[in-house]
Amino acid sequence: MSQGGAVLLETREMSKTFGGLKAVDNVSFALREGIVTTLVGPNGAGKTTLFNLITGHLAADAGDVTWLGNSIRGVPHWKIAQSGIGRTFQDLKLFDQMTVEENVLTVTERGAWLWQGGGRTGLAARRARALDALDAVGLSGRRRARAIDLAYAERKFLSVARILAAGARLWLLDEPASGLDPGSYDRFVTLVRDQLRHGITICIIEHNLDIVKGISDRIAFLDQGRLLAEGEPQAILNDPALAAIYFGERAE
C-alpha cells in the first residue's frame, strides 16, 4: 500500500496527563498526504485524547503539533478547524433539532447568521456546498429531516458530510465505521477511497481489525499513551507482541 506523500501534520513529543494518568506520553508521529493512517490500540490507549490535542479541544502539557509546517499548539479549536483539519466524534455532536441541511450549513459559516458575507450569492454558494456534501454521502434525499430522526448509519454519514462541506484537507475520524451495517460500511469505504483520489488525507481511530485491514495504508499502534509502533499494516498486525497487548494478553 502507499506510504503517502509529504508530511501534512506532525506531533512532536506530545504529552497529556490527567491526575496521575499519562493519557498521551511523549508521542511523535506524522500524517502523510493522500493516505489512510489508522490509530489502533486497546481501550484507554490515548487515541481520542491524541485527536483532542491535535484539534485544540485539549491543551497539551508538553510537545508540539505542526500543520503544514506551522505550529498549531495553543490555537483555538475553531481556528484549527478553519485551517483545514476536520474531525468527527464518537458521540457525533450533531444538532439534533436542526435539519440535516442546517447541520451541514453550520460548518460553512465563519460566524453568526447575521454576519455572513456575500449576501444572497454567498448563501446560495454555501447551500450548494452543503447539498454537494449530502449528495456525496447519500443523504440529499433526507436534507429536510431532523438529525434526531435519522437512522444510526445516516447520523454517521451526516457527521462526515459536515467535514466534507467545510472543505477540510485532513479528516480525523473517531470510530466512523463502528456499528455500521455491511452495506453502509461498503459505502463508507467507497467514500473514503473517493476522497483520497480528490486529495484528502485521512486518519481513523478504529477497533475492528477487519476494518483496519481493509482500509489502512499505514498504522500507528498506541498503548497506555505511548506510540509503540508505526508502519505497514501487515507488519503491525502480524506482530505477536502487539497482538498480545491488543487482546489483553500483555506479559506481566
User: Are 149 and 214 found together in one domain?
Assistant: no
Last residue of a domain, one of 135, 168, 201: 168
d(CA 80, CA 77): 5
Q: Which domain holds residue 66?
A: 1-84+169-179+186-252
Question: How many structural domains compose the chain?
Answer: 2
User: Are 22 and 35 found together in one domain?
Assistant: yes
Instruction: Give pTM, 2 decimals.
Output: 0.91
Q: What is the secondary structure of 119-176 as a DSSP string?
A: HHHHHHHHHHHHHHHHHHTT-GGGTTSBGGGS-HHHHHHHHHHHHHHHT-SEEEEEST
Report the CATH number that the domain containing residue 78 is assigned in CATH.
3.40.50.300
Last residue of a domain, one of 117, 137, 168: 168
User: Are 45 and 161 found together in one domain?
Assistant: no
pLDDT averaged over consecutive 10-residue blocks of the chain (252 residues)? 84 96 96 96 95 97 97 96 94 95 88 53 87 96 97 96 96 93 94 94 92 93 96 93 83 46
The model's pLDDT over 155-194, given as tens digits with 9 standing for 90+, comes to 999 999 999 999 999 999 999 998 899 999 999 999 999 9
User: Are 160 and 99 found together in one domain?
Assistant: yes
The model's pLDDT over 129-140, given as tens digits with 9 standing for 90+, comes to 999 999 999 999
User: Are 120 and 143 found together in one domain?
Assistant: yes
SS3 state at 110: coil
User: Are 73 and 193 found together in one domain?
Assistant: yes
User: Are 7 and 71 found together in one domain?
Assistant: yes
Q: Which of 87, 106, 85 is nearest to 95 (CA)?
A: 106
